[in-house]
Each structure stands twice: as C-alpha cells, then as structure tokens.
Amino acid sequence: ITAPDVIPPPASNAPRISQIMRFGFPGLANIRALDDYVISYDTRNRVPYWVCEHLNDANVTRNPEVDRSQCIFHEDFSIHEFFRSENSDYKGSGFDRGHMAAAGNHGLNMRDCRQTFLLSNMAPQVGEGFNRGKWNELEKYCRKKARQYANVYVCTGPLYLPRRDDDGKLYVKYQMIGQNHVAVPTHFFKVVVSEANTGELELESFLLPNAYIENAVPLSTFYVSTDVIERASGLLFFDKISKKKFQKINGNKTGWF
C-alpha cells in the first residue's frame, strides 16, 4: 500500500472552503468564499467566472424553516461599484437572473439560501425552457446525486463560444444588458465529481446553450469532454484528481479498473 492517491475529505470541522475546494481551484481571479459556496467573479462581464459547491445530503435537503420567498435578489456590495450588477440591469431585458450556485443546493438555513441570491452569483439566462427548464433539471440531477453519493462537487459557470460567420471567420458575439453592461453568456457549463461511499469517483461535464431547450431532450445530450469546457473557459477543473482515477466519465465506465 502506497500513499493515498486521492485527497481525503478534510475533517468535518475544517473550514468550509477547504471542503468545497478539496479537488482544486478552477482559477484564482477575484475569489470570495461564502458560507456554503465559493465564487470567482468576472469584473469585466459582471457575472461569475465560476462557482464551486460541495453537495451532500444535508445541504440539498430543504429545511422547512427556510422560506425561499424570503430570499430576495440583492446587489453585492462586496464588489466594486464599477463592476457590480443591479436588479435594474435585468429588468425588462427578457432574461432571468439565473443562479450559478443554485438556491436549492443551500437549504440548511436562511443565511446560506440568502447568499445564493446575491447578484454576483447570477448570470442572464433564458427563462422559459432553460432557467425554468433544462438548466433547472440539471440542478435537480445534481441534488439527486448528492442524495445517493457521499459527496458531490459541482463547478458551474458561463461560456462565450465563437461561431463561424458568413465571412468564414470565427467570432465571439454576446449581448450586454443594463447600464452596468452585464454579459449574456452564449452557453453554461457544469462539471460534476461524485464520490461514492466506496470512494469511487465519477466525472460528468455538461455544456448547454443559453436557449430554449425542448423538455424531451435528455441531459446526456449535453455531455462533453471536460477539456472542451476547459479550453473555452480558460479554467482547469478538479486538477488535483488524475483523470485515471475516474471509474466513470459522462456515464460510461472508463475501463481503467
């Protein structure tokens, strides 16, 4: 028996950030640790670069004393006023204030739930068929895994993918809304690591367009190789885990075991 090759979970009394970030930081820009999630904020686009969450049975189970209707969208005064988004930016834009760290993942207490309603945790999302559709389904899928596995680690964020234009060249194009110029991402990603009670690790990477998606389209349609998201986002996910440690990737046995 050699040294452990997967980092063990921190002690239960370790700082929450060390539990959430157990397998590494996707990037190191403008990081802030909230009580139950960690965010890296993109000051240029007024949305997150990424948020990371650690899900388990406790924080995905709704405490009946947590009343989500009491949680209100609020600007984040910890962000410099030049880089802060406001409710007025979203108003009339046609886009939802889409949670990156989902409210339903932080149901332990009102404080955790409220912190997910900071506008720094939002990005403009298509409402019908996305925020209130397929994206919501993906969030629920993560919570379901959290009930079945010992630990689930989720990194979520926006993407700005290039498209080929009529002139044959690649262009990135995205809308900006409101007086504070809040970027409307073209796509969103989730990279999910699930640790079974046996210690087995699974990796799933989802890339969805910020658009209406038919209900019948299965989530597995949006599986991509992690490095597609890494190259497009400029981030590296779970880099403390060797890819060879995953028993399953995007639902398929890897054959390494």
* Beta strands at 201-209 and 246-249: parallel, antiparallel or unpaired: parallel
Among 183, 191, 213, 249, which residue interacts with a copy of itself (rule: CB under 8 A)? 183
- Note the Cα 221 to chain centre separation in Å: 18
Residue whose pair of structure tokens reads 């349609």 in the numeric block: 221
Binding mask 69-98 for Mg ion (x = CB under 5 A): -----------------------------x
Among 45, 59, 115, 156, which residue interacts with a copy of itself (rule: CB under 8 A)? 45
Dist CA 131 CA 5 (whole Å): 38
- Return left, alpha or beta for 92; rule: phi > 0 is left, psi -120 to 50 is alpha, else beta: left
Which residue in 99, 106, 181, 187 is the catalytic one? 99
Among 105, 115, 121, 131, which residue interacts with Mg ion (rule: CB under 5 A)? 131
Q: Does 176 bind a copy of itself (CB under 8 A)?
A: yes
Q: Does 231 bind a copy of itself (CB under 8 A)?
A: yes
Among 9, 27, 129, 209, which residue interacts with a copy of itself (rule: CB under 8 A)? 27
Dist CA 205 CA 144 (whole Å): 16
Q: Which stretch, 67-75, 141-149, 166-174, 197-205, contacts a copy of itself (CB under 8 A)?
A: 166-174
Shortest distance, CB of residue 189 to a copy of itself, whole angstroms?
A: 13
Shortest distance, CB of residue 32 to Mg ion, whole angstroms?
A: 20
- CB closer to Mg ion, 100 vs 249: 100
Entry field: residues in the chain: 257
| 131 interface partner picked from Mg ion, a copy of itself, none, CB below 5 to 8 A per type | Mg ion
Dist CA 140 CA 104 (whole Å): 8
Cβ neighbours of residue 50 closer than 8 Å, sequence gap 6 or more: 26, 27, 39, 40, 100, 155, 156, 157, 233, 235
Shortest distance, CB of residue 4 to a copy of itself, whole angstroms?
A: 26
Cβ neighbours of residue 8 closer than 8 Å, sequence gap 6 or more: none
Catalytic (active site) residue 99: yes
Residues 65-124 that bind a copy of itself (CB under 8 A): 80, 82-83
Q: Does 99 bind Mg ion (CB under 5 A)?
A: yes
CA dihedral over 60, 187, 183, 235, signed as positive or negative: positive
What are the b/e assignments for 7-31, b being 16+ CB within 10 Å?
eeeeeeeeebbebbbbbebbbeebb
- CB closer to a copy of itself, 65 vs 82: 82
User: Which of 227, 222, 193 shows the shortest CA–CA distance to 208?
Assistant: 222
- The residues annotated as belonging to the active site are 99
Binding site for a copy of itself (CB under 8 A): 27-30, 42-45, 80, 82-83, 160, 162, 169-177, 181, 183, 227, 230-236
Give the interface with Mg ion as residue ranges (CB under 5 A).
Answer: 98-99, 131
